[in-house]
């Protein structure tokens, strides 16, 4: 049988998109699939199935789709999964997946893909939990750029040209501290700013309505036991906002603030931030068990060293 036509076994009519051509290539038998994907390198693919369509990208997703559904294997009888949505808004108002941002988007996807690729991991895949950890830490670095896009980088106009050595140093320092939601994602700072924009509209009638439903609202902890810096009046208004919006979850002995509405709003234009599970901030909760008869006593801790080689080695 003649081998003519088998160097590129696809119907490559101009009407088909690159994604359609890739989907067609992936439907071919294995040997022909490799040839077809390699041939598509001239049209924007890597030409390498381990990058263009790695087996850990599932549910019909691949390197070139606007979102990734990742499956890194199993751990303790459960699948180790991760979802990434690249269709997010940049500081200039464009989407990361817009054609004008193709170079940046391609770099981000390549950077993420090589974290799992065996050629960059001593020739083999690792455990599902290890791969998830490595992949998530890579998402942290991308999110640092996205969170500071308006102030520092403007990647929609300048690409990654403004990512300087000082910016990388700042990222490493923040990512080494724990919890990462506090330092890298600035959860307390951003939460305060978010609430300050809302409490200006709270009225006395709103407070009365909220207190009627949740009598623990006025029972606020002493200043020594608070971390967000709200005054007594502001804290009561913050609790009122939480109560009237239904952001309190029932817990034994009181109510606990559910931060997910804030997380989804504040970090909607990041890759990992929308999945944050930040720590509970007690002054926002309504908990009768936390009430004290006397203010807490300040405690001075011993001096702690800053960032160490151990921290850097864990990044």
What's residue 165's pLDDT?
95
Per-residue pLDDT tens digits for 166-218: 999 999 999 999 999 999 999 999 999 999 999 999 999 999 999 999 999 99
What's residue 7's pLDDT?
53
Which of 219, 157, 230, 217 has the alpha carbon at shortest distance from 191? 230
What's residue 144's pLDDT?
98
Res. 299 pLDDT band, cuts 50 70 90: very low
Residue 315 has pLDDT above 90, yes or no: no
Produce one character per residue of 26-54: b if its CB has 16 or more CB atoms within 10 Å, e if not: eeeeeebbeebbbbbeeeebbbbbbbbbb
Per-residue pLDDT tens digits for 66-99: 999 999 999 999 999 999 999 999 999 999 999 9
Res. 310 pLDDT band, cuts 50 70 90: very low
The DSSP annotation for 28-44 comes to S-HHHHHHHHHHGGGGT
The distance in angstroms from the start CA to the end CA of the chain is: 55
What's residue 1's pLDDT?
46
Residue 3 has pLDDT above 60, yes or no: no
Domain layout of the chain by residue ranges: 85-176, 187-290
Residue 155 has pLDDT above 50, yes or no: yes
What average pLDDT does the segment 42-46 reach?
Answer: 82
Alpha-carbon distance of 111 to 121, in angstroms, equals 13
A 10 A CB-CB count for 159 gives 14
Residue 101 has what DSSP assignment? G
Alpha-carbon distance of 126 to 118, in angstroms, equals 8
pTM above 0.85?
Answer: no
What's residue 2's pLDDT?
47
Alpha-carbon distance of 225 to 165, in angstroms, equals 38
What's residue 12's pLDDT?
53
């Amino acid at each position: 049988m003649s081998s003519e036509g088998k160097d590129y076994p696809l119907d490559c009519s101009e009407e088909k998109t690159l994604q359609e051509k890739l989907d067609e290539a992936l439907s071919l038998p294995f040997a022909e699939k490799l040839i077809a994907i390699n041939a598509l390198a001239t049209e924007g693919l890597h030409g390498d199935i381990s990058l263009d369509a790695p087996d850990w990208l599932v549910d019909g997703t691949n390197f070139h789709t606007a979102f990734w559904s990742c499956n890194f294997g199993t751990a303790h009888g459960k699948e180790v999964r991760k979802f990434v949505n690249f269709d997010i808004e940049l500081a200039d108002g464009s989407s990361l997946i817009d054609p004008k941002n193709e170079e940046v988007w391609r770099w981000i996807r390549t950077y993420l893909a090589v974290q799992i690729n065996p050629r960059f991991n001593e020739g083999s895949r690792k455990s599902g939990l290890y791969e998830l950890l490595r992949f998530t830490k890579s998402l942290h670095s991308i999110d640092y750029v996205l969170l500071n896009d308006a102030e520092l980088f403007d990647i929609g106009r300048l690409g990654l040209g403004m990512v300087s050595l000082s910016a990388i140093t700042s990222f490493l320092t923040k990512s080494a501290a724990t919890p990462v939601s506090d330092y890298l994602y600035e959860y307390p700072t951003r939460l305060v700013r978010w609430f300050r924009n809302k409490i200006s509209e709270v009225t006395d009638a709103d407070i009365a309505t909220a207190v009627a439903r949740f009598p623990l609202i006025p029972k606020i902890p002493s200043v020594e036991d608070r971390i967000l810096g709200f005054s007594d009046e502001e804290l009561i208004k913050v609790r009122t906002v939480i109560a009237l919006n239904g952001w309190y979850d029932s817990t034994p002995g009181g109510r606990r603030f559910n931060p997910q509405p804030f997380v989804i709003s504040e970090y909607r234009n990041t890759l990992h931030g929308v999945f944050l599970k930040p720590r509970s901030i007690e002054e926002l909760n309504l908990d009768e068990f936390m009430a004290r008869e006397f203010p807490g006593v300040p405690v001075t801790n011993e001096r702690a060293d800053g960032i160490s080689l151990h921290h850097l080695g864990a990044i």
